[in-house]
Structure 1
Amino acid sequence: MRGRYRRAVSKTPTQGILPYQDIKQLIVTGALTASPAIEDRQIQPASLDLRLGRKAYRLISSFLPELSPISSRLDVLDFYQSDLVMYEMDLTEGAILEKGHVYLVPLLEHLKLPKNLRARANPKSTTGRLDVFTRVVTDLNAGFDEIRSGYHGPLFLEVVPRSFAVKVRTGQSLNQIRFVRGEATVSDASLKTLHSKSPLLYHNSPTRKVLGQREFRAERGLFLRIDLKGDDRTDSGIIGYRAKKNSHVIDLAKVGHYSAADFWEPLHRHRHDSLLLEPEEFYILASKERIRVPAGYAAEMVAYEAACGELRTHYAGFFDPGFGYGAKGEIKGTQVVLEVRPHDVPFLIHDGQTFFKVVYDRMLDVPSQLYGTTLGSSYQGQALTLSKHFKV
């Protein structure tokens, strides 16, 4: 299998995303450490799931530790004298993170990256679909989620539940980290060539027709559209969901447990195939196209707010090798589920409107494990799908 996929990449790259087997090697060499030790379940085809530590700190506000180590802001004898920390919480037996509050959680993992290796982080799909805003913070850094080459130090996770209060415990994973060597991004010309040989996008229709070259739009990534018509093969007419304002706590340990009706309002197809998004409401929507990520590549949704208006179109953005592809390329794409939050003003969107963008990166090698095979991947065959905590 690996030989077949390697032929899809012109040559073994020296720059790219580290695959499953190389992440395991980082653990062996001590570039990745943790207590308790990192578990195999955390290692994904092109990323590592990071785990919540034993404490959480309720903060007055978000912050960036550009001028001092994070621990110096947390290590105070009297939190009432702190300009940042309100109180400390124990996560070992579980604790509730309230909606709208800012928390900082030291993660169990610790990095000792070599000088030629950097990293970037992203919420897991399940985290994004619950409207839990997360971003990794590192010492002496002026940005979130981007971890500089050669970084030696701890990792912290800022967590802000937006729509629902959530119960979390030590060892649970809300986000993931991807390791990068050099420049990994695939050019637009290479994307077009790849699409002609191994299609990346399909129409979301019963025939799963490949997107033609005229419809295939690339400009520093692939442009994709929003689906507001839904599946004509069903009678539900549901084209999305909107989070209810007042709901109970969601325990992240309970999978397939909650009734969607208690937390979500279904949105039905409008006669004009449009949808008015209200400011600061949270929506789950889906893409017009079905996306594939061949085994020699990884992908990521990127910010598109500046071009399409005052709204955020996603929280979780990593797509692993094999997403919508299958072990032998037998899957004709998977819809992308979007987490959408408008800001400031109402925003009207229409079916087929360009709505977000996906950037492809090269892998350093084909992963020994692909998405949707033996790793227990949750969303390989998804359509419009809520997080795994809700009953199907």
Structure 2
Amino acid sequence: MAATPKHGILPDKHLKQLIQDGAINADSPIGQNQIQPASLDLRLGTKAYRLLSSFLPERSEISARLSVPDLYQSDLVMYEMDLTQGAILEKGHVYLVPLQESLALPPTIRGRANPKSSTGRLDVFTRVITDLNVGFDEIRPGYKGPLYLEIVPRSFTIRVQTGLALNQLRLVAGRPSVSDSQLKALHRSARLLHHNEDNAEGDQSLAARDMRVDQGLFLRIDLKGTDDQQNIVGYRAKKNSHIIDLTKIGYYSALDYWEPLYRHSNHTLLLEPEEFYILASKERINVPAGYAAEMVAYEAACGELRTHYAGFFDPGFGAGAGPRKGTQVVLEVRPHDVPFLIHDGQTFFKVLYEKMLDTPDEIYGSTIGSNYHQQGLTLSKHFKW
């Protein structure tokens, strides 16, 4: 048997082994539904703390900031909330929730966290925090300790409850990155990008000469849409709406919360500062089973707008059978400071591919109940039409 490579994203079978070995612990048993092909869903614990501000615990353990003799005289915490029966998190406020999962990682394993797709599409800004760390969402090799989630609802007031998963954790060994030359070779063998136009016939994959690769795979924004989308090219969150209970799936009328944006004759869109938009990529992507991917912001745009909150793509994303290959990427966009005009086909973000440590037992798709399998321009799972 060939030796297992030492560089890669840990797949589901390895996550299960780490759970069995006690490297991943939890206050209540970890369910099979938490284990994704290349990540682990992290669940909210029993308490939430309303904070005065965000912070990073570089100098002290987080628990020390939450267990002062008089919590209400804390320099950080305003009040404590019970999540066991559900609680309301107000739009624009900062909350900290101890998660049910904790870690005792081997020294060769590090972690990265990211919001789940549904979290990002609701404009809920979340970041995992660990003790004595100088950054968010990055978990150092060999970390032993609890996990906390900072939550800031931006567009909607939300209701959450103990056990809900808003974020996911990916564990990494070594340096699993795929070089530009490897990425081009992978496209030749597995066809990573496909056209999304209505008139795309036959082989819909992009020619290698049309791919833009530079430390990742660049993708563009779609402002033309397709006929089956009724000329809708995006959605803008309404400023005043009711609470969204995150335990309710397919429950809320989309038009009560979102304004559809229709195709413009010149295929442009003016993004207003601090508004929140759902848009989609012009290409459909494919993530082969031996790889995972992550979306990152296009550097030239970072000073003007944020192009995503949720960025993990599991092995098998866009790899399903059928005449249309690949799956569109949905973008969560928030401009800052000034209005920002974008046009159809504009380079907007890029995707980094990484190798898996091993092929997962399950891949992303309908067989494991993936919510956004073969998606188009899609709102979060909480809405209906």
TM-score by length of 1: 0.95
Q: CA deviation at 1:69?
A: 0.3
Quick check: 1:324–1:331 contact (8 Å CA) kept in 2?
A: no
Query: Please, which of 194, 200, 205 is the counterpart of residue 210 of structure 1?
Result: 205
* 1:344 maps to which of 337, 345, 370: 337
Q: How does 1:165-204 map to 2 (within 5 A)?
A: 165-204=157-196
Kindly provide the CA deviation profile for residues 112-152 of structure 1, in whole angstroms up to 9, marking residues without a partner as x: 00000000000000000000000000000000000000000
The aligned counterpart of 1:257 is 251
Letter in 2 for 1:95: A
Q: How does 1:286-305 map to 2 (within 5 A)?
A: 286-305=280-299
Report the residue type matching 1:334 in the other structure: T
Aligned residue among 39, 53, 62 for 1:61: 53
Deviation at 1:213, TM superposition (A): 1.0
State the shift of 1:316 in Å.
0.1
Mapped to 1, the partners of 2:224 and 2:302 lie a distance apart of: 20
CA distance in 2 between counterparts of 1:30 and 1:331 reads 42
Shift of 1:307: 4.4
Q: Any conservation in 1 of the 2:301–2:348 contact (CA below 8 Å)?
A: no
**For 1:257-291, what per-residue CA distance to the aligned partner results, in whole angstroms no more than 9, with x for missing partners?**
00011000000011110000000000000000000
Superposition RMSD in Å? 1.6
Is residue 152 of structure 1 aligned with residue 144 of structure 2?
yes
- Mapped partners of 2:308, 2:146: distance in 1: 27
Offset of 1:37 from its aligned partner? 1.0
- 1:117 and 1:12 map into 2 onto residues whose CA distance is 15
1:53-75 deviation per Cα after TM superposition (whole angstroms, max 9, x unaligned): 00000000000000000000010
Conservation of the 8 A alpha-carbon contact between 1:305 and 1:311: no
Q: Is the aligned partner of 1:325 residue 2:319? A: yes
Q: Displacement of 1:331 after TM fit?
A: 5.9
1:305 shift after superposition: 4.3
Bigger mean CA deviation after superposition, 305-314 or 92-101: 305-314
Cα distance change on mapping 1:355 and 1:76 into 2, 3 Å: same
What are the equivalent positions in structure 2 for 1:249-288 lying under 5 Å apart?
249-288=243-282
Distance 1:308 1:104, change over 3 A: closer
Matched with 1:124 is: 116
Q: How many residues align?
A: 382
> Distance between the aligned counterparts of 1:113 and 1:294, measured in 2?
27
Letter in 1 for 2:209: R
Amino acid at match of 1:258: Y
Q: Distance in 2 between matches of 1:247 and 1:275?
A: 24
Query: 1:174-202: CA deviations, max 9, x gaps?
Result: 00000000001100100000000110000
Deviation at residue 78 of structure 1 after TM alignment: 1.9
Q: Which runs of 5+ in 2 are unaligned?
A: none
- Tell me the alpha carbon deviations over residues 89-110 of structure 1, each in whole angstroms, 9 at most, x when there is no partner: 0000000000000000000001
**Are the counterparts in 2 of residues 308 and 355 from structure 1 also a CA contact under 8 Å?**
no
- Residues in 2 aligned to 1:331 and 1:109: alpha-carbon distance in whole angstroms: 38
Residue 363 of structure 2, aligned match among 340, 349, 370? 370
Find the aligned partners of 2:96 and 2:10 in 1 and give their Cα distance.
28
Amino acid at match of 2:381: K
Instruction: Indicate yes or no: 2:352 matched with 1:359.
Output: yes
Residue pair 1:305, 1:313 contacting (<8 A) in 2 also: no
Number of the residue aligned with 1:225: 220
Q: Deviations over 1:205-235 (max 9, x none)?
A: 243611111111111100000000010x237
Matched residue SS, 2:364: coil
Per-residue displacement from partner, 1:239-259 (whole Å, max 9, x unpaired)?
000000000000001100000
Q: Secondary structure at the match of 1:293?
A: coil
Indicate yes or no: 2:45 matched with 1:50: no
Judge conservation of contact 2:234–2:278 (CA < 8 Å) in 1: yes
Distance in 2 separating the partners of 1:352 and 1:331: 20
Residues of 2 paired with 1:337 and 1:224: CA distance?
11
* Cα distance, 1:330 vs structure 2: 7.6
Calculate the TM-score normalised by the size of structure 2: 0.97
Give the AA of the match of 1:167: R
Return the offset for 1:80. 2.7
Measured in 2, the distance between the counterparts of 1:285 and 1:136 equals 25
Secondary structure of 2:175's counterpart equals: coil
Aligned AA for 2:138? E
SS state of the match for residue 98, structure 2? Answer: strand
Which runs of 5 or more residues in structure 1 are unaligned?
Answer: 1-5
In structure 2, distance between residues paired with 1:99 and 1:373: 33
Of the structure 1 ranges 369-378 and 34-43, higher mean CA displacement relative to structure 2 is found in 369-378
- Give, in whole Å, the separation in 1 of the partners of 2:373 and 2:230: 22
Contact 2:297–2:348, Cα closer than 8 Å, also in 1: no
Percent of aligned pairs with the same amino acid: 71
CA distance in 1, matches of 2:20, 2:72: 42
1:16 maps to what in 2?
A: 8
Alpha-carbon contact 1:294-1:325 (below 8 Å) kept: yes
| C-alpha distance in structure 2 between counterparts of 1:308 and 1:248, whole Å | 31
CA distance in 2, matches of 1:91, 1:234: 41
Is the alpha carbon distance of 1:333 and 1:12 closer, same or farther for their aligned partners in structure 2, counting shifts above 3 Å?
farther
SS at match of 1:288: strand
Rounded to whole Å, the distance in 1 between the matches of 2:220 and 2:302 is 11
- How far residue 79 of structure 1 moved from its aligned partner, in angstroms, is 2.6
Specify the code of the residue in structure 2 equivalent to 1:364.
Answer: L
**1:100-119 counterparts in 2 under 5 A?**
100-119=92-111
